Amino acid sequence: MHLETILRKAHELDASDVHLVAGHKPMLRIHTVMHPLDHEVLTPEAMERALESLISPSQLETFTENNDLDFSHEIEGFGRYRANAHRQRQGVGIAMRLVRTKIPPMSELTLPEVISRLTYLPRGLVLVTGDTGSGKSTTLAAMIQTMNERYRKHIITLEDPVEYVFKSDQCLIEQRELGADMPTFASGLKHALRQDPDIILVGEMRDLDTASLAISAAETGHLVLSTLHTVNASQTVERIIDMYPAGQQNQIRSMLANTLQAVISQTLFSRIDRAGMVPAIEILLCTPAVRNIIREARTFEIPNVIETNRQIGMNLIDNGIAELYFNGLISREDAVAQSAHPEKLEKMIAA
């Protein structure tokens, strides 16, 4: 198996993911659909050799002990991958996701203009949410690059692993990788607060310690960007609150109400007008009314507030999906399948 040949072929075909699994042919995910490569079946021995060529001896020790390993891989002048190696029934499996080395400008991402306005925020918490593969990292990278070109500030990113590699422009940018440069997000965030940052990107608010530190950082005057695996704004607020013990939830509601600036929830669709993907976006902006809703535990009212504030840039995910459909970018079947309320959306697009 010539690994670099497979990765180059994946790049030519615009594959987002490469799956190398002992006992199977290499598989590529191209615009959400899996395709086999014209290649012989990968043997367990070939997969062992491939893994050893991708990771360091210390990483191999970790893999041998745990049978799972997250890592990144870069081909000079070609591209970066974030990867997971694991053992499965027939041997080693490796899943590799291509990380685009060129940071796309926000104008190319078909994002609502209100997201560009969020890059002017001096402080607070901005969350980009969605399923795995929904484009969260790309949206955040575009926002960071926009600020890099505009401000003279200090930006620290804490990632798992480092994806887009930034080149300091007007800003000083430091990128730290989980495992290689810090043991946990919480540890990296704790020490980042002593490194004179203006803007902090936290790869994921995945536990209570990280969430607490991120909210505290936003409360003390930093702009904090992070992600969650939630599908809409109200679920995002509830997920954060639910991380805390019941006795602390009223306090955290007040802190979150004061610090949260916006929630951007994304869902990616395959385009029907040309090859590629396009996002549908839900946007919650934290107006005084939204802050009261969070403080008073009335998150069920968030969708109504979004719907009645479209004129200032808020948007429900189903409205975003309907807009993509009416503009001829996605199919009716995909629109309904990924809708939050399929029956309501069907009526909306049938009108």
Identify the three-state secondary structure at position 70. strand
Mean pLDDT on 100-110 = 85
Q: What is the pLDDT of residue 99?
A: 78
Residue located via tokens 């395959």: 270
Residues 212, 117 share a domain: yes
Distance CA 254, CA 295 (A): 5
In a domain, 261, yes or no: yes
Residues 231, 284 share a domain: yes
Q: Which of 69-83, 122-136, 202-216 has the lowest mean pLDDT?
A: 69-83
Strand partners, 263: 127, 284
Higher pLDDT: 4 or 241? It is 241
Mean pLDDT on 152-168 = 92
Token pair recorded at residue 331: 């199919």
Mean pLDDT on 43-59 = 94
Q: What is the pLDDT of residue 77?
A: 65
Mean pLDDT on 233-238 = 97
In a domain, 328, yes or no: no
Q: What is the pLDDT of residue 2?
A: 81
Residues 304, 162 share a domain: yes
| CATH number for 54 | 3.30.450.90
Q: What is the DSSP string of 1-69?
A: --HHHHHHHHHHTT-SEEEEETTS--EEEETTEEEE-SSPPPPHHHHHHHHHHHS-HHHHHHHHHHSEE
Among residues 99, 115, 137, the one where a domain terminates is 99
Q: What is the pLDDT of residue 351?
A: 63
Q: What is the mean pLDDT of the chain?
A: 94
Query: Residue 100: pLDDT above 80?
Result: no
| CATH number for 162 | 3.40.50.300
Distance CA 184, CA 139 (A): 23
Distance CA 96, CA 99 (A): 9
Among residues 99, 123, 148, the one where a domain terminates is 99
Q: What is the pLDDT of residue 214?
A: 97
Where does the pLDDT of residue 81 fall: very low under 50, low under 70, confident under 90, or very high at 90 and above? Answer: confident
Residues 177, 73 share a domain: no
In a domain, 349, yes or no: no
- Sheet with 172-177, side-by-side order of all strands: 172-177, 154-159, 199-202, 223-228, 124-130, 260-270, 277-285
Strand partners, 156: 174, 200
Question: pLDDT for 258-287, tens place per residue?
Answer: 999 999 999 999 999 998 899 999 999 999
Question: pLDDT for 336-349, tens place per residue?
Answer: 999 999 999 999 99
Q: How many helices (H) and strands (E) does the chain have?
A: 14, 13
Those residues with Cβ within 8 angstroms of residue 35's Cβ, 6 or more apart along the chain or in another chain: 13, 15, 27, 28, 29
Question: pLDDT for 173-210, tens place per residue?
Answer: 999 998 889 999 999 999 999 999 999 999 999 999 99
Q: What is the DSSP string of 90-138?
A: TEEEEEEEEE-SS---GGGTT--HHHHHHTT--SEEEEEEESTTSSHHH
Q: What is the pLDDT of residue 1?
A: 61
Interhelix angle 317-326/342-350, rounded to 10 degrees, is 40
Percent of the chain residues past pLDDT 70, beyond the cut: 99
Distance CA 344, CA 182 (A): 46
Strand residue runs (E) in 149-259:
154-159, 172-177, 199-202, 223-228
Residue located via tokens 């200090």: 154
Q: What is the pLDDT of residue 275?
A: 83
Query: Residue 144: pLDDT above 80?
Result: yes
Token pair recorded at residue 49: 């050799």
Query: Residue 164: pLDDT above 90?
Result: no
Residues 112, 95 share a domain: no
Q: What are phi and psi of 230, to 5 degrees?
A: -125, 160
In a domain, 186, yes or no: yes
Residues 86, 196 share a domain: no
Q: What is the pLDDT of residue 344?
A: 92
Q: What is the pLDDT of residue 252?
A: 96
Residues 297, 156 share a domain: yes
Where does the pLDDT of residue 160 fall: very low under 50, low under 70, confident under 90, or very high at 90 and above? Answer: confident
Percent of the chain residues past pLDDT 90, beyond the cut: 81
Query: Which among 163, 264, 330, 29 is positioned nearest to 349, based on CA atoms?
Result: 330
Which residues span the domain enclosing 26? 3-99
Distance CA 304, CA 200 (A): 31
Residues 302, 206 share a domain: yes
Those residues with Cβ within 8 angstroms of residue 11's Cβ, 6 or more apart along the chain or in another chain: 78, 79, 98
